[in-house]
Amino acid sequence: MSVLEATVVKNAGSHYLLSPLPAWDVFPAVLRGKVRLKASEITNPVAVGDRVRYEWADEGDASADGKAVITEILPRRNYVIRRSTNLSRQAHIIAANVDMAWLIVSLYFPEVKLPFLDRILVTCGVYGIPATIVLSKTDLYREPAQEEMDHFRHIYESAGYRVIETSVETGEGIADIREACKGGINLFSGESGVGKSSLIKALDPGLDPKIGIISAAHLQGRHTTSLYEMYPLASGGYVIDSPGLRGFGLVDLEKEEIGKYFPEMLKASADCRFTPCTHTHEPGCAVKAAVDEGRIAPERYNSYLGMLEEDKKFR
């Protein structure tokens, strides 16, 4: 029996769709039980973007029902992982083998939560995934909230991140993202309701990811994308649409390491009096001095302190 390789392009719980990228030729697959057991602390042993080996099931294999059977998960180049909301010892892999993470936020409708964004940025940094921040729905608030938009850009551009302003209504920023997506696997992630699926459809009108609405009562998005799925873009490259996230816990990161993944803090920490320095109480801390002097945004520093507190809860 020949063993073949493909990429996971859809995760539907216990069933998957594979394609031999770069060709787009999708077919169904199931997971062999012993592969599932190897990742007991991961809620999903196979993630979208994973390269896998598979076999075609024997005719007598009723459990596979003629589908391909995933026999091995190949080593991951990188992945985006978060701690499960209700299971502190378990984690969930959002996507694997990603070339760019596009982190979608909106200033309002729903309102951006900077600590949430910063947790994703830290995780991307840990696993070496380039990240770009996409400020969506700018047509809704550019006029009344230009000052807030400028402040947001200053916070993250000062930290070393690229920020792209977009609107699916006016087309602002869409061409830039479409061009940058060519030739790679791109993860689109963010909180519920920020416009990920609408943005994907704007990049390629031939695609039809589910598009949600905002709850007027709570100004929060309703979950519309319940599955992780990859789509090919007509202009080149692939996008992974992920379910809207409401929480993002850090995984595999010691508290002493967290500051290394805030680029502006890492730069300033070279001048700290003590090494290591937690940047919380030590005398001669260059990071705290940079916050006091306005060279590091207090919002980012507060996110860092929150991550230290979160780390204590899981120990």
* Residue ranges of domains in the chain, CATH in brackets: 4-73 (2.40.50.140), 79-241 (3.40.50.300), 255-313 (1.10.40.50)
Is the confidence at residue 211, as pLDDT, over 60? no
CA distance 13 to 46: 9
Q: Spell 132-161 as b/e; 16+ CB within 10 A means b.
A: bbbbbbbeebeeeeeeebeebbebbeebeb
CA distance 52 to 90: 22
Count the neighbouring beta carbons within 10 Å of the beta carbon of residue 203: 23
User: How would residue 218 be classed by pLDDT, with cut points 50, 70 and 90?
Assistant: very low
Residue 189 near residue 237 (C-beta atoms within 8 A): no
Is the confidence at residue 275, as pLDDT, over 80? yes
User: N- to C-terminal Cα distance for the chain?
Assistant: 46
pLDDT at position 215? 32
Using alpha carbons, select from 113, 124, 115, 79 the residue that is nearest to residue 97.
79
| Beta-bridge mates of residue 42 | 91
Is the confidence at residue 303, as pLDDT, over 90? yes
CA distance 225 to 197: 8
Residue 220: strand, helix, or coil: strand
User: How would residue 61 be classed by pLDDT, with cut points 50, 70 and 90?
Assistant: low
pLDDT at position 260? 95
User: How would residue 219 be classed by pLDDT, with cut points 50, 70 and 90?
Assistant: very low
Is the confidence at residue 52, as pLDDT, over 80? yes
The average pLDDT across 241-260 equals 79
CA distance 300 to 288: 12
CA 75 to chain centre: 19
Task: Say which residue, 37 or 24, is predicted with more confidence.
Answer: 24
Residue 116 near residue 201 (C-beta atoms within 8 A): no
pLDDT at position 138? 92
The average pLDDT across 38-44 equals 67
User: How would residue 227 be classed by pLDDT, with cut points 50, 70 and 90?
Assistant: confident
What are the distances in angstroms from CA 82 to CA 241, 252, 284? 16, 10, 34
User: Comparing 44-53, 118-127, 142-151, which segment has the lowest mean pLDDT?
Assistant: 142-151
